[in-house]
Structure 1
Amino acid sequence: MKILSIQSAVAYGHVGNSAAVFPLQRIGVEVLPVYTVNFSNHTGYGAWRGPLISPDDVRDVITGIEERGVFGEIDVVLSGYQGGEGIADVILDAVARVKAANPAAVYSCDPVMGNAKSGCFVAPAIPVLLRDRVVPAADIITPNQFELGFLTETEPTDLASTLASADAARAMGPRTVLVTSVERPDAPEGTIEMLAVTDDGAWIVQTPRIPMKANGSGDVTAALFTAHYRASGDAADALAKTVSSVYDLLQTTFDSGQRELQLVEAQEFYAHPRLQFPVTRVR
């Protein structure tokens, strides 16, 4: 499998492509990373250095890849944090060109815009751009529960409303929706869930909540779920493997006492998921 991954990059720590590429490689995926920013570290530190990469430069890199004649071999285009507004046009153009070369290719979009605790942390125009133009072009989207609510202009607060919001998102274009950081009032205290919804049904997995903020964990989640689902076509299987790997990554990070994801230390959990959490069909 080959994935063209258009995301941010940092030198220190693991977010964007700096979080997604290694886990994908560890499960046997060939990744072609294209960077939208090249920062010293993620912006959660409040200070960082390095450039936003201009849309023209990002497009130029993608064109150079196309000139190598590999677009017909690309199975997935994956996008995450987009940085500036103009990147969306570049991504959508790349998706169209890849699909023209390989009609079986899919586009997986992680519509990064914020979370329930922090609110939106991207430029004001980005969420609207994602909702109106990018998400409708995607085959798979991987929002958290907060982002799902913005995209669909709904308020997913329990399982029924989150399923309804996922269906509203699917009506926009993407057939597969992975909802991360699902919280609902009737779930046991100290737990968090992940929900996958496709044409074939809906499945949920519950895990203990690890008490830490983990920048980049959503990028790992989107990458692993996309790759597993593309390989098997089985959303429940992809969900089980992804949740297992990400939970063990987070537990490894928490146990280390470090702020940044212990991405390399947890590598065996990507290659050999323990599948310790049951997947429950909810529809």
Structure 2
Amino acid sequence: MVDSVASKRSSNAVIIRILDIMSENAAGAVIVISSHVVRGSVGNRAAVFALETLGHPVWALPTIVLPWHPGHGRSTRLTFAETDFDAAIDDLIRAPWIGEVKAVLSGYFGNAAQARSVARLIGALRQDNPELLYVCDPVMGDLGGLYVPEATAEAIRDHLIPLASLATPNRYELAWLSGAALEDNSAIMEAALALGPSRMLVTSAVPMMAGGTGNLYLSGRHALLAEHRVVDNPPNGLGDLIAAVFLSRLLSGIEDEKALQLATASVFEVLARAVKRGSNELMLASDASSLSTPMAMVQMRRLVHPAQRRKK
């Protein structure tokens, strides 16, 4: 009993310290650029909620507006003229408050021109702040193949991936971006290194535990795999959510391995709770505590970094 109480106190102390670190480092706004749905928790709806819950001011720019995720059935697609979207990017570049911005997160694009416009935004922001953190979530496809026009996918690959501080593709998106078959985690790591960003978080990586799924994180120093059990029939929005939560942890100054563990635990917990309730959407408002203080268990593994293999 004493050991159990001591363990809980130790765990609580760790959580309190993490929250203190987040509070100390959370200053600075994040520009989030992705799709917006009227109903649901995908795209900007997921990312903005997560970032604001974790203490970050957010500037949100939609790329398209939909009544709901296309997976729920066809609906009206509200789009922006390419010139209007580009003009909005100009407004952001010239905004008197642009110095507040510490990071940019991009997700789904309505067309190739939007990706090129965002590349221009990143370039302009980095002229004044070379340390700007840019997270590119290349939302373009899954097991069923590309669900954006090939020209849009090519624009993300050619104009945004080279600028990314961190890219967060799923395994199938990474396979398309790299042009390689990714049958194991060694192949995933090689493709991630070849693609270019200094940090890569690959969701739907190859699990090492039976009945599991993993998030593989690769940087110049780390090759890490965070695993949890597979949850059947998951709602949409998990990729949007983990990109935002992992970005928040990095902005808060938490070291990479802990940031990966916390982000994976948060997303798994939100997912498991939504499915248990029978919801066809992530229930972020009900599960906000899972974003700030997740309790789910995540299996962390350190993999052999490709650079280490080459030295042997």
Question: TM (normalized to structure 1)?
Answer: 0.93
Larger radius of gyration: 2
Give the gaps of 5 or more residues in structure 2. Answer: 1-27, 305-312
1:5 aligns with 2:26: no
Cα pair 2:40 2:68 within 8 Å, conserved: yes
Cα pair 1:35 1:58 within 8 Å, conserved: no
Q: What SS does the aligned partner of 2:249 have?
A: helix
1:191 match: 212
In the TM superposition, what whole-angstrom CA distance separates every residue of 1:151-180 from its partner, at most 9, and x where no partner exists? 1111111121112122112xx3x1000000
In the TM superposition, what whole-angstrom CA distance separates every residue of 1:125-154 from its partner, at most 9, and x where no partner exists? 122222222211211100001111111111
1:123 match: 149
Worse overlay, 240-249 or 99-108: 99-108
Worse overlay, 54-63 or 255-264: 54-63
1:253 match: 274
In the TM superposition, what whole-angstrom CA distance separates every residue of 1:54-99 from its partner, at most 9, and x where no partner exists? 2322233333334432222211111000111210111011111211
In the TM superposition, what whole-angstrom CA distance separates every residue of 1:96-130 from its partner, at most 9, and x where no partner exists? 121122221121100111112x2211112122222
CA-CA distance at 1:258 after TM superposition: 1.3
CA-CA distance at 1:272 after TM superposition: 1.0
Identical pairs, percent? 29
CA-CA distance at 1:269 after TM superposition: 0.6
Q: Determine which structure has the larger helix proportion and give its number.
A: 2
Letter in 2 for 1:38: V
Taking the aligned partners of 2:176 and 2:242, their CA distance within structure 1 comes to 20
2:203 to 180, 183, 186: 180
Q: What SS does the aligned partner of 2:60 have?
A: strand
In the TM superposition, what whole-angstrom CA distance separates every residue of 1:203-257 from its partner, at most 9, and x where no partner exists? 1111000001321111011111122123226221211111010001101110111
Taking the aligned partners of 1:101 and 1:203, their CA distance within structure 2 comes to 33
Question: TM (normalized to structure 2)?
Answer: 0.84
Q: What SS does the aligned partner of 1:258 have?
A: coil
Cα pair 1:41 1:49 within 8 Å, conserved: no
Taking the aligned partners of 1:26 and 1:125, their CA distance within structure 2 comes to 35
1:154 match: 180
Give the gaps of 5 or more residues in structure 1. Answer: none
1:52 match: 79
Q: What SS does the aligned partner of 1:220 have?
A: helix
2:262 match: 241
Within 5 Å, give how 1:66-85 maps onto structure 2: 66-85=93-112
Worse overlay, 61-70 or 20-29: 61-70
* Equivalenced residues, count: 277
1:142 aligns with 2:171: no
